[in-house]
Structure 1
Amino acid sequence: MKLGGLFFSSLIGAVASARSMTPMASIAAARLLGHRMPGRLVLLDRPVFQLGALAMGAGELAGDKMKSAPDRTVFLGLLARVLSAGIAGAALAPRGREQAGAVTAVATAVPLAYATLAGRKRAMASIGQTRSGLIEDALIVAAGVAVVALAVKPTKPPRK
């Protein structure tokens, strides 16, 4: 099954709506494993940025459970989503369509940030901040990994 166009850019934007650093962390992990992205990478081809993206992704997962964690729709939260979705959306777009992929991912991430926040608030009222955060983490990290895994170009196995 071949899915082309900007489908994966849109999906990674949806991931960014709930966890701003997960898209870049998912791409960084794939690059560290040797996978190639369909589109040109911005920054995430360098090991220092790959490790930084992974660290920021892990930090966000931990910080989200704190009572003082701000809503994802505050200015800095939306800015982080715009940057992460843009970089990841470009990387997952077909070669030559990186700008459209970035725009698509951002256009998906920002409005969905409000929807995912509303869902999270309902879950927090029902099952608490930590439990709802852990469930959201599991779903969003799995979605980020799945989107990137489906979008990356397979590495060629060595010839024997």
Structure 2
Amino acid sequence: MRIRDFIPSVLIGAVASARSMTPMAALAGAHLLRRETPGRLILLDKPLFTAGALAMGVGELYGDKMKSAPDRTVFLGLLARVMSAGIAGAALAPKGYEREGAALAVGTAVPMAYLTLSARKKAMAEIGQTKSGFIEDALIVAAGIAVVAWAIGRR
């Protein structure tokens, strides 16, 4: 196994650092299009999970614009990133190497959550919470979709 085979897992961890539910929503969208991930992902076989992942992805985009939205580095925010990155990192890893993919995604998501928060705070000071949030949303959702599409296309 080559290290570059795990690039999608690392990249989806970076996506999770900024938007915890985007990796799961991107995977759910791919599942609805009947695309299979390289690694095993049993949860998406459940329609309720697929619908929930999509709903939570959309909800997070809305909630992030609220003045009361907590920082992504609070305990529950980091926990959501760990879970989402782990599941998505495993799904995008080569078959049989799901644990390694999950570990790499989580190992990327947690420290990068602090970096993306710092960047977001700087952007908020410059252009405000809502505008910076929409820009971050566009970048991260596009990145999540691109990473999932790339990983699935590499199969």
Instruction: Give the TM-score taking structure 1 as reference length.
Output: 0.93
Q: Equivalent residue for 2:11? A: 11
- Is 1:147 aligned to 2:147, yes or no? yes
Find runs of 4+ consecutive structure 1 residues off by over 4 angstroms: none
Q: Equivalent residue for 1:98? A: 98
Q: For each residue in 1:113-134, what CA deviation from the matched residue of structure 2 results, as whole angstroms up to 9, or x when unmatched?
A: 0000000000000000000000
Please report how far the alpha carbon of residue 76 of structure 1 lies from its aligned counterpart in structure 2 after TM superposition: 0.1
Q: Distance in 1 between matches of 2:42 and 2:110?
A: 20
Instruction: Give the TM-score taking structure 2 as reference length.
Output: 0.96
Count of residues paired in the alignment: 153
Q: Distance in 1 between matches of 2:45 and 2:105?
A: 20
Q: Equivalent residue for 1:116? A: 116
Alignment of 1:30-41 (within 5 A): 30-41=30-41
Secondary structure in 2 aligned to 1:44?
helix
Q: Equivalent residue for 1:127? A: 127
C-alpha spacing 1:154/1:110, structure 2 compared with 1 (3 Å): closer
8 Å CA contact 1:38–1:153 kept in 2: the answer is no
Q: Distance in 2 between matches of 1:42 and 1:74?
A: 29
Secondary structure in 2 aligned to 1:67?
coil
Q: Equivalent residue for 1:66? A: 66
Q: Distance in 2 between matches of 1:151 and 1:100?
A: 15
Identical-residue share of aligned pairs (%): 71
Q: Equivalent residue for 2:80? A: 80
Greater radius of gyration (CA):
1
Q: Distance in 2 between matches of 1:139 and 1:57?
A: 14
RMSD (Å) for aligned C-alpha atoms: 1.4
Q: Equivalent residue for 2:138? A: 138
Please report how far the alpha carbon of residue 97 of structure 1 lies from its aligned counterpart in structure 2 after TM superposition: 0.2
Q: For each residue in 1:83-136, what CA deviation from the matched residue of structure 2 results, as whole angstroms up to 9, or x when unmatched?
A: 000000000000000000000000000000000000000000000000000000
